[in-house]
Amino acid sequence: MLGLIWAQARDAAGRPVIGAGGTMPWHLPEDLAHFRRVTSGRPVVMGRRTWDSLPPRFRPLPGRTNVVVTRQDGWAPGGAVPDGAPSPADVGTPVRVARSVDDALAVARADAGADGEVWVMGGAQLYAATIERADRCVVTEIDAVVAGDTFAPSVPAGWRADAGEWATSSTGLRFRTVAYLRS
Ligand SMILES: NC(=O)c1ccc[n+]([C@@H]2O[C@H](COP(=O)([O-])OP(=O)(O)OC[C@H]3O[C@@H](n4cnc5c(N)ncnc54)[C@H](OP(=O)(O)O)[C@@H]3O)[C@@H](O)[C@H]2O)c1
């Protein structure tokens, strides 16, 4: 199972914003908890810019293999396990570096459980490169207008949408989760 997971607000033109200036232009702790629940124990695949967007103290994301995609020769985050190396249990959370999206998905699937569940966690370049082969998208919709420079992909036509109830965050933001399933 390949899933894409993101959170989006919207800009003044109604476009689905996922990022601004290399970060997410909102603070929604409930969404971070939701992201952790969905992806814990599952490999996550991200573009190098999304890796860079994570505060250093929060990366690698614990309890799941982190796969970072980059075209840069020799790029390595601190503590990375070289591509192709075994992932010994005693290294803690493994970070894998892949030079292509196909390699990233193969590396992630090798570390997935029996169900093969893998999550692409952004950003826009990675969503665009993987949505055509995804089985589901789990989207947190945030009811806010923000300025942004990075946008969510379009979910392909015909997918089934399963929308949750709107809730209000401790920060005051309204949000809900919509799961899109390939039919
Ligand atoms: N709202 C959300 O849920 C959410 C989630 C994630 C991220 N974001 C936001 O999204 C923004 C980042 O997204 P982004 O689209 O700019 O960048 P991105 O997709 O995170 O990363 C792009 C980078 O990935 C590498 N890459 C992309 N395609 C590749 C390919 N086919 N083969 C090899 N490497 C490839 C390249 O790295 P190199 O340049 O190193 O070669 C490229 O510069 C940030 O603002 C972040 O906060 C939001």
What does the pLDDT profile of the chain (183 residues) look like in tens digits? 999 999 999 999 999 999 999 999 999 999 999 999 999 999 999 999 999 999 888 899 999 999 999 999 999 886 445 555 544 444 468 899 999 999 999 999 999 999 999 999 999 999 999 999 999 999 999 999 999 999 999 999 999 999 999 999 999 999 999 999 999
Q: What ranges do the domains of the chain cover?
A: 2-181
**73 in ligand 1 pocket by Cβ < 6 Å?**
no
**124 in ligand 1 pocket by Cβ < 6 Å?**
yes
Judge contact between 75 and 84, C-beta under 8 A. no
pLDDT for 77: 86
The encoded tokens of residue 91 equal: 């290294």
Closest Cα to atom 47 of ligand 1: 23
**24 in ligand 1 pocket by Cβ < 6 Å?**
yes
Tell me what percent of the chain is helix, strand and coil, each rounded to the nearest 5: 25, 30, 45
pLDDT for 92: 67
pLDDT for 88: 40
**26 in ligand 1 pocket by Cβ < 6 Å?**
no
pLDDT for 93: 80
**50 in ligand 1 pocket by Cβ < 6 Å?**
yes
Distance 66 CA to ligand 1 centre (A): 14
Q: Please state which of the four CATH numbers 3.40.430.10, 3.40.50.1000, 3.40.718.10, 3.40.50.1820 is assigned to the domain occupying 2-181.
A: 3.40.430.10
pLDDT for 156: 95
What number of H helices and E strands is found in the chain?
4, 11
**150 in ligand 1 pocket by Cβ < 6 Å?**
yes
**70 in ligand 1 pocket by Cβ < 6 Å?**
yes
**57 in ligand 1 pocket by Cβ < 6 Å?**
no
Distance 150 CA to ligand 1 centre (A): 10
Judge contact between 39 and 121, C-beta under 8 A. yes
Among 71, 72, 103, 138, which residue has the most ligand 1 atoms within 8 Å of its CB, making it the best to mutate? 71
Give the burial class of 41: count Cβ atoms within 10 A of its Cβ; 0-12 exposed, 13-18 middle, 19 or more buried. Answer: exposed
